[in-house]
């Protein structure tokens, strides 16, 4: 089914690399017009230029999602460049992992400012127009950290649990306005962040193997696999899916031990 996202004008955060870039590329292939947000201005400009060379309808703005004013301005720019936003993908996030009693206040703030407040800034910037135009869809990229706990990853799971709570709350709040709000929870994904994590060990290959062994299928997801799930959730193929979360982790969160 080609052009599954035809007519979708999508605001995507953290769009210049990793899962966000994969989502952007697959969405364009499915007919969406996209507006990209990322803090890395140079990388964002290069990404947008490359996508435009392929004929995609792309707008972009370098911004920190924790800055509500900047996001409000970006949504206005998006409407002018690609049309009124009727879909949002809250993908931008940051890993903040610590032993709880060793966590600095500034790291707590950074975790929640980006992983929760930033997503809310985007939601509240696009919701009024979605409601006025009789509908839209929001997809929050959560994590299996939203319902499981790994020791020494505090406070990241708190923020992701809260993001899942916000997903459910907004989905219920605006269901009668024809706005769907859902979450997608990836497990391990082979992004540069994960590769850098493996590289932080004295034996990166061994660290990678240990990660793969955690999974029933002995592999982890590719960014494109996450993006393909996002296509379904943004599309009109699941019009009655609302206020819920789709897990895509190869069965990791179901496996008790092995």
Of the candidates 156, 174, 188, 197, the residue annotated as catalytic is: 156
Predicted confidence at residue 2, as pLDDT, reads: 78
> By percentage, how much of the chain surpasses pLDDT 70?
100
* Structural tokens at position 140: 């929050």
Per the annotation, the verdict on 60 as an active-site residue is no
Summarised one tens digit per residue, pLDDT across range 38-60 is 999 999 999 999 999 999 999 99
Residue 25 lies in a domain: yes
- The answer to whether residues 46 and 67 belong to one domain is yes
Summarised one tens digit per residue, pLDDT across range 105-133 is 999 999 999 999 999 999 999 999 999 99
- The answer to whether residues 126 and 166 belong to one domain is yes
Q: In total, how many domains does the chain have? A: 2
Summarised one tens digit per residue, pLDDT across range 212-222 is 999 999 999 99
CB 159 within 8 A of CB 107: no
- The answer to whether residues 215 and 144 belong to one domain is no
- The answer to whether residues 93 and 213 belong to one domain is no
- The answer to whether residues 115 and 36 belong to one domain is yes
Pairwise CA distance, residues 86 & 129, whole Å? 8
Distance of CA 208 to the CA centre of its chain: 24
- pTM comes to 0.97
Secondary element (H or E) of residue 21: helix 18-29
Closest residue by Cα to residue 61 from 108, 131, 125, 7: 125
Predicted confidence at residue 1, as pLDDT, reads: 62
Summarised one tens digit per residue, pLDDT across range 144-176 is 999 999 999 999 999 999 999 999 999 999 999
- The answer to whether residues 128 and 237 belong to one domain is yes
CB 230 within 8 A of CB 184: yes
Structural domain harbouring 205? 189-220
Long-range contacts of 109-116 (CB under 8 A, 24+ apart): 111/155, 111/156, 111/158, 111/159, 112/155, 112/158, 112/159, 112/162, 113/66, 114/65, 114/66, 115/156, 115/159, 115/160, 115/163, 116/159, 116/162, 116/163, 116/166
Summarised one tens digit per residue, pLDDT across range 182-226 is 999 999 999 998 999 899 999 999 999 999 999 999 999 999 999
- The answer to whether residues 105 and 156 belong to one domain is yes
């Amino acid at each position: 089914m080609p052009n599954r996202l035809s007519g979708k004008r999508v605001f995507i955060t953290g769009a210049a690399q990793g899962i966000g870039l994969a989502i952007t590329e697959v969405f364009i292939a499915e007919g969406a017009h996209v507006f990209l947000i990322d803090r890395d201005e140079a990388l964002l400009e290069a990404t947008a230029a490359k996508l435009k060379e392929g004929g995609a309808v792309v707008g972009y703005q370098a911004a920190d999602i924790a800055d509500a004013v900047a996001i409000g301005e970006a949504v206005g720019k998006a409407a002018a460049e690609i049309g009124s936003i009727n879909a949002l993908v809250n993908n931008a996030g940051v890993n903040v992992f610590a032993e709880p009693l060793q966590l600095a206040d500034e790291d707590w703030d950074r975790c929640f400012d980006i992983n929760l407040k930033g997503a809310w800034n985007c939601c509240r910037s696009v919701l009024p127009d979605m409601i006025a135009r009789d509908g839209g869809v929001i997809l929050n990229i959560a994590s299996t950290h939203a319902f499981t706990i790994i020791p020494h990853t505090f406070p990241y799971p708190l923020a992701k649990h809260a993001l899942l709570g916000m997903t459910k709350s907004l989905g219920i709040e605006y269901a009668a306005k024809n706005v769907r709000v859902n979450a997608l929870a990836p497990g391990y994904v082979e992004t540069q962040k994960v590769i850098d994590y493996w590289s932080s060990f004295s034996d990166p290959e061994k660290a990678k193997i240990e990660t793969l062994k955690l999974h029933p299928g002995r592999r982890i997801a590719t960014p494109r696999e996450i993006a393909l799930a996002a296509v379904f959730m943004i599309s009109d193929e699941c019009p009655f899916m609302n206020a819920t979360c789709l897990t895509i982790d190869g069965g990791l969160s179901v496996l008790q031990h092995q």
